[in-house]
Amino acid sequence: MDNPLLGLHGASNVFGPQKGADRADVLLLDAALERFAAVLERDLVGCPAGLGTLPGGGAAGGIGAALIALGGGCESGIGLVTRATRLDAALDTADLVITGEGSFDHQSLRGKVVAGVAGAARDRGVPCVVVAGQVSTGRREAASAGVTDAYSLVEHFGGEESGGLDAALSRPAEGLRELGARLARQWSR
C-alpha cells in the first residue's frame, strides 16, 4: 500500500468513505491526522520530516505513519505474501488464478495484494479472476492490471437494489461457495 497519511490519496480520503465516513468526516479525520503527524515530527526524535506525505504512511488508517515515525519501514504486502506463500512457484504451474478482495475498486490496483497477484499472473500469461464483496473497478482498468474477470457477491445476490448487499454481508460463505461452483463450470477445461 503506497498511500500517504494525508491528502487526496491519504488514509482519510481513500479509506474513510469505504468505512462510511461522509465528506465532513473525511475532512475532520484528515485534519486530526495532520495534527498527529505534526506532533510526531516535532516531538519524536528520529521521526522523518514530511511524515504525512511518505508512501505507506496511510496504511491501516495511519498505523503505517506511526511505524515510520518510530523508525520502521514499509514493505509491500505483495512482496511479503509472495515470499511467505511461494507464490511465484505456484503461479508457474497454474492454469487459473483466483484472488479476492472485500471491495475491488480503484484502490485495489494501488499496491494491494490483489494487484500484485494479478500482475504476476498476467506476466505468466495465466488468467486471473477476482472474487470480491463489491466490484466497482472498470473492466479496462482491471484488465490493464492483469485481471481477466471480476465477480461480485453483491451482484451474485441480485445487486444492491435487490438486497444483494445485505445478502452478501449476511451469507458470504454461501455466496462464495456458489461463485466457486460457477467459476469451476466456466473455467474448467
Contacts (Cβ under 8 Å, ≥6 apart) of 177: none
Please indicate, yes or no, if residue 4 is contained in any of the structural domains: no
At residue 1, the pLDDT reads 66
Dig out the grid coordinates for 34 from the structure: 495532520
Please indicate, yes or no, if residue 1 is contained in any of the structural domains: no
Q: How far is CA 113 from the centre of its chain?
A: 7
Nearest-CA neighbor of 9 among 48, 68, 50, 56?
A: 56
**Same-domain pairing of 30 and 108:** no
Global pTM reads 0.73
Q: Could you list the pLDDT tens digit for every one of the 189 residues in the chain?
A: 678 999 999 999 988 887 889 999 999 999 999 999 999 999 999 999 999 999 999 988 889 999 999 999 887 778 888 999 999 999 999 999 999 999 898 878 877 889 999 999 999 999 999 999 999 999 999 999 999 999 999 999 999 999 999 999 999 999 999 999 999 999 987
Domain hosting 35: range is 11-69
Query: What is the CATH number for 87?
Result: 3.40.50
**Same-domain pairing of 31 and 96:** no
Please indicate, yes or no, if residue 5 is contained in any of the structural domains: no
Dig out the grid coordinates for 166 from the structure: 445485505
Contacts (Cβ under 8 Å, ≥6 apart) of 58: 1, 3, 4, 5, 6, 9, 10, 11, 14, 15, 64, 65
**Same-domain pairing of 152 and 65:** no
Determine the 3-state secondary structure of 155 from DSSP: helix
